[in-house]
Chains A and B, each alone.
Chain A
Amino acid sequence: MIRGSRSIQIIGAGHNGLVCAAYLARAGHQVTVFEASSQVGGAAITREFAPGFKVSAAAHLVYMLDPGIEKELDLASHGLEYARTGLQTISLSEAGDHVRFNGDDVDGVSEGDREAMREYRRKMQHFAGIIGGLHNRVPARLGTTDRPDLLELARLAFNIRRLGKNDMREFLRIAGINIYDVLQELFENDALKGALGLDGTLGTMLGTRSNNSVFCALHRYSNGGRYQLPKGGMGTVSNALANAARAFGAEIHTARPVNRILMDFDRATGVELQSGEQIEADLVVSGADPKTTFLKLLGAQNLEAGFAHKISNIRTRGNVAKLHLALGSVPDFTGLDPALSAERLVIAPSLQYVEQAFNHAKYGEHSRRPVMEISIPTLDDPGLAPAGKHVLSANVQWAPRELKGGWSAAHEAFTESVMNTLERFAPGICSQVMHRELLTPQDIESEFRIEGGHWHHAELALDQSMMMRPVPGTAQYKTPVDGLWICGAGCHPGGGVMGSAGRNAARAIIERSGT
């Protein structure tokens, strides 16, 4: 068999599946992607939610996409275009005393806080570089004496050492703790702390006072932390990836859901589609979340009991709801210069506010006063809505997947809480709404086929990261089942429309799959 001539099937045309497909096809393999939905992109799509109004249905901002992937796959030539880059973050306050994160500076806070912010930003970017430096690496296995693993660890140790004595100590001190304590040490302004605290908790089942939230913030900043708005919504990113993959020769089939992974004794040999069609391949790569891959498509009966137990223990408690509003005009946020409405607006007026919003989630309740990350993409990209009309897209937290009493009973009440919260920051917004849609994690789970409706497929926590992601033993993208690999956000380094998991998986397959 000559290099690069194997037939490889990829389950799911989410962004990681597409990246993986593109790299494998580029290496000469015959790649076929099967996507259940009628369009490519998984949770990075643009779709119409009201007549004439289009929105990025799940992920809505690009901030982690690996610049290397953008370049290597030449996404610009395949149609990726940004309507705006470098969105500022504005922490909204009800009274109108907003805090604006303006490049390297921050407006609306005391001189002491500005000074502290410069140091905080330097420190966090420095530390995020350590985390980011791991993104494009296949995680090392621990406890082995294999050279590549030891070298990989030595590289990490070297990078931490290279921070210098003081920064290294600070990194080892804060990397495992909570962002609340770190922020309280440094800042006084509530809205400033709230927004920074939100960065450590967005998309996770952590409050600002939960340990690990510093790690989540570092993860968020690890690819530069610049927010960008793709022209035409997130679907543009996925379409560009699909175009790149096709250009390298990959075949992408939409609306062809995979029913199960075929097994011949202990080896994966292909997939069975929902139509009943069985197609064989040399390798199967799953971009689905780990629980779906192993427990649904493969079946626990095909796994060793201990491994199946570990998979079932992966925490996949989705907790972000997505709000889409079709608006007749631009909402008027109290005290906010209308020119700034196009920025990334967050409702996290204090650490206390964020923490109280989180408290409900612990008990399977939704927040009464949720935190939100808001984008009004039509201000920069008017093509998403009819002329003069606007779209508001917001991540709303917390809305636990497992809600006491179920979502169907609470959907309306939660939507009301969300609208009331918006109304307090942008009086009159409710009367501007022409149409609204709120996707709960349950809706996200069924629409995007992600177990638990979790952004990252598996909670982004230290105990589910790096060589332990999704579970120890599969962190190198190879699974215990011969011929089956995984490449989704449930793998290192996680979701967030980064693409690194897909690329790492492709690299691991090319380097390590053998013949």
Chain B
Amino acid sequence: MKKHDAIVIGAGHNGITNAAFLAKAGLDVLLVEKNDYIGGATVSRNLHEDWIYSNCSYVCSLLRPEIYRTLDLAKYGLQVVPYGGTVTISQNGDYLGSYIDHDVSRREMARHSHRDADADVRYWRDIMRQCRFIRQFLLRTAPDPASFKPRDLLELLHIGRKFWGLGENVIYDTMRFYTMSISDFLDEYFENPLIKAAHAGSGIIGSALGVMSPGTAYVLLHHAMGDVDGTVGSWGFARGGMGAISKAMHDCYIDHGGQTLAGSGVDQIVVKNGKVTGVALENGDEHHADIVVSNMTLPRTFLECMDPADLRPEFLDKCRNFKIRGSSGKLNIALDGVPKFTALRDNQELMYTDMHLIDSIERLERAYDDWKDGTWSRDPYIDMLIPTLTDPTMAPPGKHFMSVFVQYVPPKVKGKDWTDADRDAFGQTVMNQIEAYAPGFKDLVVHAEVRTPRELENEVGLTEGNIFQGELTMDQLLFNRPIPGYAQYRGPVKGLWMCGSSNHPGGGVMAAPGANAAREILMSLRKPSNVPEGWLDD
């Protein structure tokens, strides 16, 4: 059988990005995917009649513009449409809207608290300062602080210089920001519970931490540092659903001569004499290459798809201890019409925004306590959008698609695997929660897909259903991600590479790990890099 230059496992957005950069550099690349469709968690699925669901990831902001440009995604049909603002709906019938127009937003905030409306200016100034600082390290490989290689020392020096360049006061702000809980951080700015709750949600989305856990302020950053059309912190819909992103990337990849095999997963990464030689698929086929790039999660790559004899026991222990706990679930709902939220009354244009159902830090934290006890939140935090109001291509005329992200949902229920009955009960909890805010909502539901961490793991391969391929805590960030000593995309076996979100800089539809891994691979082959590095527009 013909030998390829490289095999990439997993056609999620990072795998495709990685494969596309390698193919663009002239390598003969084979991309293998277990599902019979590509995209991983960046996907548009047609699961009910003429509805198209973004059934995993649902909004776009983190996708690096450098990657967008280098892979020419616009040419391949990708359009990202920004949507305006958010609304946080409270149980008592009130709401807090935020709008594209700053003056309107400010007036709305002042309706709840004048003091907080003033504080909000300081708050966003400080957040954006942190964003600008972290952004410049996303498309770079993290240095290994325990290494004495010139490259690592230079990179450490580079980070140190940038850090020092912030100036004394901002340095302290930065250190405090990284180690604080989002709840304590918000307390330093705001007084109104609804305003605090509106800001706090981003601190926990996708993470197994409560708003009062130190370290959540950073998670917030992860949700604020993206941009759409150069507007930092803005979010948008991919026209046609999130699958449009992976499709455009994939079209680029195919255009550069890449091949894709979908429909059979990898059974084993084959290692001979301490070197990777290829992959054995579940359908029995074997494909050969000296370079194998895994876009699978860390545990899936090393604990499920490799022979333990090929790896050192300490390395395997570290893979077992990798924190990749699922914390969220999702409902994808086909609607007969637009639901009416009591609180929004005559302000229905807020339906076009990102809607949050929460009104206090305490409720958010109590939702987390349920997760700690091994159940889904009885009073869950809900983040939902109706993309069809902005992009009507996703549903039949007059009908709508609603994406409902739910936090918290544990990877196991009271220590036991999820059952269908559990899943249905969880779905009911969420439906009831929405119904309480929008009476008559349930009558509009035409079809609903309920996704717990079990579905996410089984379909998309995200271990324990963790959407970031590993938690974003201090022990798993930067040079610690995924595990100390292996943060430079190079696996523990010669020829084996990692390009998934388990690696720096982590999850979200960012494509940075895939790009960074491609740069490292090309560097190891002594080929000129075609992968953007650093930050171009800051």
Which residues of A line the B interface, CB within 8 A?
141-144, 161, 165, 168-170, 172-178, 181, 185, 206, 209-212, 313, 315, 355, 359, 362-363, 461-463, 467-468, 472
Contact = CB atoms under 8 A, between A and B. Distances in A.
Contacts of A206: 214
Contacts of A181: 323, 475
Contacts of B209: 211
B172 A173 contact: no
A107 B484 CA distance: 33
B214 A210 contact: yes
B166 interface: yes
Interface stretch (B176-184, B228-236, B271-279): B176-184
A178 B372 CA distance: 14
A168 B474 contact: no
Interface in B167-214: 167-172, 175-176, 179-181, 184, 187-188, 209, 212-214
B321 interface: yes
A143 B212 contact: no
Residue among A210, A313, A461, A463 facing the most chain B CB atoms (10 A cut-off): A463
A17 B384 CA distance: 55
A468 B212 contact: no
Contacts of A177: 215, 473-475
A472 B171 CA distance: 10
Contacts of A168: 145-146
B369 interface: yes
A363 B213 contact: no
A143 B365 contact: no
Contact of A463 (B146, B167, B180, B475): B180
A344 B473 CA distance: 33
A175 B473 CA distance: 11
A463 B213 contact: no
Given A176-B475, A177-B473, A462-B214, A143 B166 contact: yes
Interface residues of B, number: 37
Contacts of A169: 146, 484-485
A178 B166 CA distance: 29
8 nearest A-B residue pairs (beta carbon): A176-B474, A143-B168, A169-B484, A472-B172, A462-B179, A463-B176, A211-B215, A211-B214
Contacts of B188: 313
A172 B214 contact: no
Contact of A211 (B168, B169, B176, B474): B474
A468 B184 CA distance: 15
A174 B474 CA distance: 8
20 contacts: A143-B166, A143-B168, A143-B170, A165-B146, A172-B145, A173-B480, A176-B475, A177-B215, A209-B372, A211-B179, A211-B215, A212-B179, A315-B184, A363-B366, A462-B179, A462-B214, A463-B175, A463-B180, A463-B184, A467-B172
A142 B171 CA distance: 7
Contacts of A468: 172, 175-176
B484 A211 contact: no
B37 interface: no
A253 B212 CA distance: 43
Interface in B136-177: 145-146, 164, 166-172, 175-176
Contact of B214 (A142, A174, A463): A463
A355 B473 CA distance: 19
Interface in B488-529: none
Most chain B CB within 10 A, of A174, A175, A315, A462, is at A462
A79 B180 CA distance: 43
Contacts of A173: 475, 480, 484
B362 interface: yes
Interface in B304-323: 321, 323
A362 B367 CA distance: 13
Interface in B333-367: 362, 365-366
B214 A212 contact: yes
Given A362-B212, A363-B362, A461-B180, 19 more contacts: A142-B171, A143-B167, A143-B170, A168-B145, A170-B484, A176-B215, A181-B323, A206-B214, A209-B372, A210-B181, A210-B214, A211-B209, A211-B214, A362-B362, A363-B366, A463-B179, A468-B172, A472-B169, A472-B172
Contacts, number: 91
Interface of B: 145-146, 164, 166-172, 175-176, 179-181, 184, 187-188, 209, 212-215, 321, 323, 362, 365-366, 369, 372, 473-475, 479-480, 484-485
Contacts of A461: 179-180, 214
Nearest to B323: A181
A170 B480 CA distance: 9
A442 to B, nearest CB: 20
Nearest to B208: A209
B300 to A, nearest CB: 20
A202 to B, nearest CB: 17
A413 B188 CA distance: 33
A178 B179 CA distance: 12
Nearest to A161: B146
A56 to B, nearest CB: 31
Contacts of B214: 206, 210-212, 461-463
B160 to A, nearest CB: 10
A374 B485 CA distance: 42
Contact of A185 (B170, B171, B321, B365): B321
A303 to B, nearest CB: 16
Nearest to B179: A462
Contacts of B181: 210
Nearest to A361: B212
Contacts of A472: 168-169, 172
B473 A143 contact: no
A210 B212 CA distance: 8
Contacts of A467: 172
Contacts of B170: 143
A504 B479 CA distance: 34
A335 B475 CA distance: 40
A268 B90 CA distance: 49
A169 B169 CA distance: 28
B168 A142 contact: yes
A462 B362 CA distance: 23
Nearest to B325: A181
B209 to A, nearest CB: 7
Contacts of A359: 369
A461 B217 CA distance: 14
Nearest to A185: B321
A467 B485 CA distance: 28
